[in-house]
Structure 1
Amino acid sequence: MNHNSAFRIEHDLLGDAQVPHTAYYGIQTQRAKENFNITGVAISHFPQLVNALAMVKMAAAKANLEVGVLSQHHHDAIVAACQEIIEGQWHDQFIVDLIQGGAGTSTNMNANEVIANRGLEILGYAKGNYAQLHPNNHVNLAQSTNDAYPTAVRLAVIFASQPLIDAITDLVEALQRKGDEFDDVLKMGRTQMQDAVPMTLGQEFRAFAHTLAEDIDRLREAAKLLAEVNLGGTAIGTGINAHPDYADAAIRHLTDIAKVEMKSASDKVEATVDMGAFVLYSGILRRIAVKLSKICNDLRLLSSGPRCGFNEINLPAMQPGSSIMPGKVNPVIPEAVNQTAFQVIGNDLAVTMAAEAGQLQLNAMEPLITYNLLNSTKMLSDAMAMLTTRCVVGITANKDHCQQLVNNSLALATLLNPYIGYENTTRLAKTALQTGQGIVELVLEEGLLTQEQLDRLLDPEVMLKPSIAQLG
Structure 2
Amino acid sequence: MAEQNGYRIEKDTMGEVRVPADRWWGAQTQRSLENFRIGTERMPIEIVKALALVKKAAAQANLKLGVLGAEQAEAIARAADEIADGRLDDHFPLVVWQTGSGTQTNMNVNEVIANRANALLADQGSSLRIHPNDDVNRSQSSNDTFPTAMHIAATLAVEDMLLPALEELRSTLDAKAREFADVVKIGRTHLQDATPLTLGQEIGAWREMLSKTGDMIRSAAEGLKELALGGTAVGTGLNAHPDFAAVAAAEVSALTGKAFVTAPDKFHALTSHDQLVFVHGALKALAADLMKIANDVRLLASGPRSGIGEIVIPANEPGSSIMPGKVNPTQSEALTMVVCQVMGNDAAIGFAASQGHFQLNVFKPVIAHLFLQSARLLADAMRSFNDNCAVGIRPNKEAIARNLERSLMLVTALNPHIGYENAAAIAKRAHAEGLTLKEAAVASGLLSAERFDEIVRPERMIGPSA
Regarding TM over 0.5, the answer is: yes
Q: Which residue of 1 aligns with 2:154?
A: 157
Residue 248 (str. 1) matches residue 246 (str. 2): yes
Aligned residue for 1:411, secondary structure, equals helix
Residues 356-389 of structure 1: per-residue CA shift (max 9 Å, x gap): 1120000000111001000000000001011001
* Preserved contact between residue 273 and residue 361 of structure 1 (Cα < 8 Å): yes
Greater CA drift, 453-462 or 190-199 = 453-462
- Displacement of 1:84 after TM fit? 2.3
Q: Aligned letter for 1:161?
A: V
Alpha-carbon spacing, 1:113–1:350, altered in 2? closer, same or farther (3 Å): same
Q: Which residue of 1 aligns with 2:380?
A: 382
Residue 77 (str. 1) matches residue 96 (str. 2): no
Alpha-carbon spacing, 1:460–1:430, altered in 2? closer, same or farther (3 Å): closer
* Preserved contact between residue 10 and residue 17 of structure 1 (Cα < 8 Å): yes
Q: Which residue of 2 aligns with 1:54?
A: 52
Q: Aligned letter for 2:247?
A: A
Residues 145-175 of structure 1: per-residue CA shift (max 9 Å, x gap): 0111110110000000121001110111111
* Preserved contact between residue 185 and residue 403 of structure 1 (Cα < 8 Å): no
- Displacement of 1:234 after TM fit? 0.3
Please give the TM-score of this superposition, normalised by the length of structure 2: 0.95
Name the count of aligned residue pairs. Answer: 464
* Preserved contact between residue 7 and residue 20 of structure 2 (Cα < 8 Å): yes
Q: Which residue of 2 aligns with 1:28?
A: 28
- Displacement of 1:94 after TM fit? 1.8
* Preserved contact between residue 79 and residue 113 of structure 2 (Cα < 8 Å): yes
Residue 116 (str. 1) matches residue 153 (str. 2): no
* Preserved contact between residue 3 and residue 9 of structure 2 (Cα < 8 Å): no
Q: Show structure 1 runs of 5+ residues with no match.
A: none
Q: Which residue of 2 aligns with 1:18?
A: 18
- Displacement of 1:86 after TM fit? 2.3
Q: Distance in 2 between matches of 1:27 and 1:457?
A: 83
Q: Which residue of 2 aligns with 1:8?
A: 8
Q: Which residue of 1 aligns with 2:180?
A: 182
Greater CA drift, 316-325 or 55-64 = 316-325
Q: Aligned letter for 2:29?
A: T
* Preserved contact between residue 9 and residue 17 of structure 1 (Cα < 8 Å): yes
Q: Which residue of 1 aligns with 2:205?
A: 207
Q: Aligned letter for 1:83?
A: D
Q: Distance in 1 between matches of 2:190 and 2:49?
A: 48
Alpha-carbon spacing, 1:142–1:110, altered in 2? closer, same or farther (3 Å): same
Aligned residue for 1:187, secondary structure, equals strand
Greater CA drift, 50-59 or 454-463 = 454-463
Q: Show structure 2 runs of 5+ residues with no match.
A: none
Greater CA drift, 53-62 or 11-20 = 11-20
Q: Which residue of 2 aligns with 1:286?
A: 284
Residues 19-57 of structure 1: per-residue CA shift (max 9 Å, x gap): 1111111111112222333342323x53x3232111110
- Displacement of 1:2 after TM fit? 3.3
Q: Distance in 2 between matches of 1:448 and 1:130?
A: 102
Q: Distance in 2 between matches of 1:435 and 1:102?
A: 69
Q: Distance in 1 between matches of 2:102 and 2:299?
A: 45
Aligned residue for 1:216, secondary structure, equals helix
Q: Distance in 1 between matches of 2:290 and 2:39?
A: 26
Give aligned-pair identity as a percent. 45
Q: Specify which of 406, 409, 416 is matched with residue 407 of structure 2.
A: 409
Q: Distance in 2 between matches of 1:215 and 1:34?
A: 43
* Preserved contact between residue 48 and residue 105 of structure 2 (Cα < 8 Å): no
Q: Aligned letter for 1:300?
A: R
Alpha-carbon spacing, 1:37–1:289, altered in 2? closer, same or farther (3 Å): farther
Q: Give runs of aligned pairs for residues 276-425 of structure 1, distance below 5 A.
A: 276-425=274-423
Q: Distance in 2 between matches of 1:21 and 1:301?
A: 58
Q: Distance in 2 between matches of 1:42 and 1:344?
A: 19
Alpha-carbon spacing, 1:237–1:412, altered in 2? closer, same or farther (3 Å): same
* Preserved contact between residue 186 and residue 399 of structure 1 (Cα < 8 Å): no
Q: Aligned letter for 1:240?
A: L
Q: Aligned letter for 2:211?
A: A
Q: Distance in 2 between matches of 1:371 and 1:52?
A: 13
Q: Distance in 2 between matches of 1:270 and 1:153?
A: 15
Aligned residue for 1:261, secondary structure, equals coil
- Displacement of 1:4 after TM fit? 5.8
- Displacement of 1:425 after TM fit? 0.9
Q: Aligned letter for 1:144?
A: S
Aligned residue for 1:321, secondary structure, equals coil
- Displacement of 1:204 after TM fit? 0.8
* Preserved contact between residue 101 and residue 363 of structure 2 (Cα < 8 Å): yes
* Preserved contact between residue 2 and residue 9 of structure 2 (Cα < 8 Å): no
Aligned residue for 1:103, secondary structure, equals coil
Residues 242-275 of structure 1: per-residue CA shift (max 9 Å, x gap): 1112112111111111211111111111221111
* Preserved contact between residue 320 and residue 327 of structure 2 (Cα < 8 Å): yes
Q: Distance in 2 between matches of 1:38 and 1:118?
A: 28
Please give the TM-score of this superposition, normalised by the length of structure 1: 0.94
Aligned residue for 1:124, secondary structure, equals helix
Aligned residue for 1:405, secondary structure, equals helix
Q: Distance in 1 between matches of 2:28 and 2:176?
A: 54
Residues 93-133 of structure 1: per-residue CA shift (max 9 Å, x gap): 1221123224100111111111111101110179xx99811
Q: Which residue of 1 aligns with 2:215?
A: 217
* Preserved contact between residue 272 and residue 361 of structure 1 (Cα < 8 Å): yes
Aligned residue for 2:360, secondary structure, equals coil
Alpha-carbon spacing, 1:398–1:461, altered in 2? closer, same or farther (3 Å): closer
Aligned residue for 1:184, secondary structure, equals coil
- Displacement of 1:455 after TM fit? 4.0
